[in-house]
Amino acid sequence: MCHLRSFGDKCHPVEQVRLLDRFSNKSTNGTLYLTATHLIFVESSSNNSTSAGQEIWILHHHIASVEKLSLTTTGCPLVIQCRNFRVVHFVVQRERDCHDIYSSLLRLLRPVSYEELYAFSYNPKQNDQQREEGWQLIDLGAEFERMGVPCDQWQLTDVNRDYKVCETYPRDLYVPITASKPIIVGSSKFRSKGRFPVLTYFYQEKKAAVCRCSQPLSGFSARCLEDESLLQAISKANHNSRFVYVMDTRPKLNALANRAAGKGYENEDNYSNIRFQFVGIENIHVMRTSLQKLLEVIGTRSLNMSDYLVGLESSGWLRHIKAVVDAAIFLTKAVTVEGASVLVHCSDGWDRTAQVCSLGALLMDPYYRTMKGFMVLIEKDWISFGHKFADRCDQLDGDPKEVSPIFTQFLECVWQLTEQFPQAFEFSEWFLLQIHEHVHSCQYGNFLGNNQRQREELQHVSLYKKGLQQCLNLC
């Protein structure tokens, strides 16, 4: 059974469609099929073709945009750009057929509700028990135990058990022993979106902690005793260090601008024992534009070397990657060399914060470089801590300004590391690419929605949920 918006009787396959190669003048003939979930191109087998019957399957969810170009002598061109950066260029003989496919795709591209997403109709040959097991592969409680938490300095708090304090945080949060409920609640009122400082990684060897949060609502001069107490508690929890680093992963200018809106950053005068550091990583809009420019450059035909390098530079993409990696290195040095605890935040604490915390943890802890460990890392720092996958990856027809390749950047940072340290990772590039595919495919339930609370609501709605971990474990 599939939740399919009806498009009338336009499901018929279209023949005599040409698939154009992006970089040469070659083309292949075939037939185009439109199903509820995929667009499929099947190459017509011919006598002299060695790859007869080549098939291209494009998941609707992967399609970022469809463009119908003006009619040419050979037919009506249709250009499809996918979120996994695939670009397909078809030429359909009859304009009417092209228009049918185009308008059907447009409607299929824009699911309005979660039930329409592939995850709810995808049905691999698994029974309920296997499916349940898939979901239970990752146990964050066990992960924190592996890190050595709870311990004498850190405890599990139930203050957010029903998402009452922070809707976008997970149920289970770890805070310093000395952080009482009033302190936590007070701090959460002083932080953007209620995202108060919590533990995300514990470096046992030095008893140093990596905590994350969002920006304080300090404006120009506002203070919050509870928030200051919480940071004090974090500092006290680490006997080895006199101070806590506070890493604001935004450029200083942006943080300053936020003050005018009643937000901002921590004032070293008000918070005893902190050392404040800006680590300028640009915001989601800059990253979105950067990616667009990059794709334009590398998609150019007959590109010469000079234009390529100049274009690469002006997109800024590698500069941003470097900024994220530099930040992770700073975090790692602070924790492993200086033995200091670090508090990381950006604006809302779910984009740059997630990148820096998870990449830093990867540098610090070899467990996260195993396949299972990497999945745990993503589950912890991205999924449970509320990175807005739905908005960032444009799962539903949402606000285009919320779309940004933050998770893609993280995956690229990891890839860069695998290139430099080939033997330090249990997984290969293929694993990263698979994850990237499925973040956008919505084939699995892991990345649906914007936070844990939303995901749980979706699980109640439908029985169809699959685990990406299960699938990847089988591969």
> Active-site residue numbers?
346
Q: Which of residues 182, 421, 428, 461 is near another protein by CB under 8 A?
A: 421
Amino acid at 183: I
Torsion, CA 131, CA 445, CA 328, CA 322, rounded to 10: 130
Nearer to another protein, 64 or 323 (CB): 323
- Residue whose tokens read 């190669």: 21
Please state, as a whole number, how many other Cβ atoms lie within 10 Å of the Cβ of residue 446: 26
Q: Please give the C-alpha separations between residue 252 and each of 248, 264, 289, 347, in angstroms, as whole numbers.
A: 8, 10, 20, 12
Amino acid at 218: S
Tokens for 234?
């974090």
Annotated binding residues for substrate: 283-284, 346-352
Q: Give the closest residue to 355 by CA, choosing from 270, 417, 281, 290.
A: 281
CB of 326 to another protein, least distance (A): 9
Q: Which of residues 132, 296, 313, 397 is near another protein by CB under 8 A?
A: 313
371 is a contact residue toward another protein (CB under 8 A): no
Binding segment toward another protein, per CB under 8 A, in 146-154, 397-405, 419-427, 438-446: 419-427
Nearer to another protein, 160 or 409 (CB): 409
Q: Which of residues 305, 337, 463, 475 is near another protein by CB under 8 A?
A: 305
309 is a contact residue toward another protein (CB under 8 A): yes
CB of 308 to another protein, least distance (A): 4
Find the binding residues for another protein in span 21-60 (CB under 8 A): 23
424 is a contact residue toward another protein (CB under 8 A): yes
Q: Which of residues 253, 257, 308, 433 is near another protein by CB under 8 A?
A: 308
72 is a contact residue toward another protein (CB under 8 A): no
CA–CA dist 279, 277 (Å, integer): 6
310 is a contact residue toward another protein (CB under 8 A): yes
CA–CA dist 25, 104 (Å, integer): 28
Please state, as a whole number, how many other Cβ atoms lie within 10 Å of the Cβ of residue 177: 14
Binding segment toward another protein, per CB under 8 A, in 124-132, 198-206, 308-316, 398-406: 308-316
Residue 198 near residue 258, CB atoms below 8 Å: no
Q: Which of residues 71, 303, 433, 474 is near another protein by CB under 8 A?
A: 303
112 is a contact residue toward another protein (CB under 8 A): no
Nearer to another protein, 305 or 337 (CB): 305
Q: Give the closest residue to 352 by CA, choosing from 310, 316, 320.
A: 320
Nearer to another protein, 110 or 333 (CB): 333
CA–CA dist 380, 255 (Å, integer): 26
422 is a contact residue toward another protein (CB under 8 A): yes
Nearer to another protein, 4 or 310 (CB): 310
Binding segment toward another protein, per CB under 8 A, in 53-61, 70-78, 299-307, 366-374: 299-307
Annotated binding residues: 283-284, 346-352
The DSSP bridge pattern shows strands 14-20 and 27-34 to be antiparallel
Nearer to another protein, 72 or 420 (CB): 420
Kindly give the residue spans of alpha helices, DSSP state H, lying in 48-136.
95-109, 128-136
CA contacts within 13 A on the Cβ side of 341: 33
| Number of helical (H) and strand (E) elements in the chain, helices listed first | 16, 14
Interaction site with another protein (CB under 8 A): 23, 298, 303-310, 312-313, 316, 318-319, 322, 420-424
